[in-house]
Amino acid sequence: MPKPELRMSTEELERLRDRYRELIGFVPPRIQARTDLLARLDPDTLRMQEELRARLMYPPCFDVKTAQLMLFGMLLMDLSDAAKLHAIAARRAGATYEELNAVVGLAFLFRGLPAANRGAEVIQEILRMEEEGRL
């Protein structure tokens, strides 16, 4: 059975994805999948999701770096894979490795060694990606 046809223009879909490229440098696979599916099945919901995400992701009281450091810590508390994406976004917004590590330390206080281990792993992955020129 073929995929349903796109119900929004390719240009609009790419504009929505450009927000991720600007923040993280690429469109993560899960975001790619969600935007592709909803652009075909329910473009109005995709537009609403992305509008709400844009509004909440960039609160006027925080700069991008601060918001991304907070999101990194929140997601690290859940040991979420998405923590890495927000750590990358924080780096792209100017966060230092010391700041990322401080967030890992805060997560450690309330989540323990699993958060410290995952946080160190994320930071090491980002270091490697930067050394390889992938970020």
Q: Per residue in 74-118, pLDDT tens?
A: 999 999 999 999 999 999 999 999 999 999 999 999 999 999 999
- Check the CA dihedral 40-43-45-50 and report its sign: positive
Per-domain residue ranges for the chain?
Answer: 10-57, 64-131
| Distance in angstroms (rounded) separating the CA atoms of residues 41 and 13 | 13
- Give the pLDDT of residue 99: 98
- Which pair of structure tokens corresponds to residue 52? 């709400």
Contact by Cβ (8 Å): 122, 84: yes
pLDDT tens-digit readout, 10-21: 999 999 999 999
- Give the pLDDT of residue 104: 98
Residue count of the chain, please give it. 135
- Give the pLDDT of residue 130: 97
pLDDT tens-digit readout, 23-71: 999 999 999 999 999 999 999 999 999 999 999 999 999 999 999 999 9
